């Protein structure tokens, strides 16, 4: 009974914290566009984090659109698939946006979405203007990512499993571009500084 009350109290506090942070955001002058640079229709691809989907990026998309940018969703319902497969799907989305707008794209990714944005920036720099990673580990993510179809689409192995240094992906139809390119440095498109 005591443990049950503690769980209910913790849930209540977490719910209150989420609601209070959302209220603070919605009341903030920056959210309403005060003293914020306005966009000129620049395309921005939003990539959600692990266990998230496009639905988690809705507030940000609305804000960016109100500021004059053109926010695009990734097409990810739940970011739980093998990062190799998701990276390939995002490449198709990137091609579509680039063809539709004819402009370089800003990528904004949260957590795993930031790693996927980095992957796109490394492998397709001619289509990318900037990569923004929020709450992402960008240092040699190759050492942390393992994809195992028998253990679910996404697992983080124990440190002892990393000893061989070679990431493993058992997804049968994956090109492994995500893992190969994750340790490469980002490059700057011509005429842009890093």
Cα–Cα distance, 30 to 152 (Å, whole number)? 40
Answer whether 104's CB lies under 8 Å from 189's CB. Answer: yes
Give the pLDDT band of residue 56 (cuts 50, 70, 90). very high
Q: Is the pLDDT of residue 151 over 50?
A: no
Residue 187: what pLDDT? 58
Q: Which CATH class is domain 34-141?
A: alpha beta
Query: Looking at per-residue confidence, does 21 or 189 come out higher?
Result: 21
Q: How far is CA 29 from the centre of its chain?
A: 25
Cα–Cα distance, 182 to 116 (Å, whole number)? 9
Backbone torsions φ then ψ of 4, nearest 5 degrees? -65, -40
Query: Looking at per-residue confidence, does 65 or 19 come out higher?
Result: 65
Please compute the mean of the pLDDT values over residues 75-81 and round it to a whole number.
90
Q: Is the pLDDT of residue 94 over 90?
A: yes
* Cα end-to-end span (Å), the chain: 56
Instruction: Mark 99-123 as b/e (b = at least 16 C-beta within 10 Å).
Output: eeeeebbbbbbbbbbbbbbbbbbbb
Give the pLDDT band of residue 6 (cuts 50, 70, 90). low
How confident is the prediction for the chain on average, in pLDDT? 75
| 96-143: pLDDT as tens digits | 999 999 999 999 999 999 989 988 988 888 999 999 989 887 654 444
Q: Is the pLDDT of residue 61 over 90?
A: yes
SS3 101: helix
pTM above 0.85, yes or no: no
């Amino acid at each position: 009974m005591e443990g049950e009350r503690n769980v209910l109290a913790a849930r209540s506090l977490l719910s209150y914290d989420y609601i209070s942070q959302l209220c603070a955001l919605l009341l903030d002058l920056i959210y309403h566009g005060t003293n914020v640079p306005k966009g000129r229709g620049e395309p921005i691809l939003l990539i959600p984090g692990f266990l998230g989907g496009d639905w988690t990026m809705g507030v940000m998309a609305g804000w960016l659109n109100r500021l004059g940018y053109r926010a695009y969703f990734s097409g990810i319902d739940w970011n739980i698939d093998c990062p190799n497969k998701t990276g390939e799907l995002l490449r198709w989305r990137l091609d579509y946006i680039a063809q539709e707008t004819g402009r370089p794209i800003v990528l904004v990714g949260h957590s795993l979405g930031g790693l996927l944005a980095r992957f796109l920036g490394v492998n397709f720099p001619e289509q990318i203007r900037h990569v923004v990673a929020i709450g992402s580990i960008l240092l040699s993510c190759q050492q942390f990512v393992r994809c195992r179809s028998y253990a679910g689409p996404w697992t983080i192995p124990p440190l002892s499993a990393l000893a061989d240094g070679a990431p493993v992906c058992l997804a049968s139809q994956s090109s492994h571009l995500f893992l190969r390119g994750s340790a490469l440095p980002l490059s700057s498109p011509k005429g842009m500084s890093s």
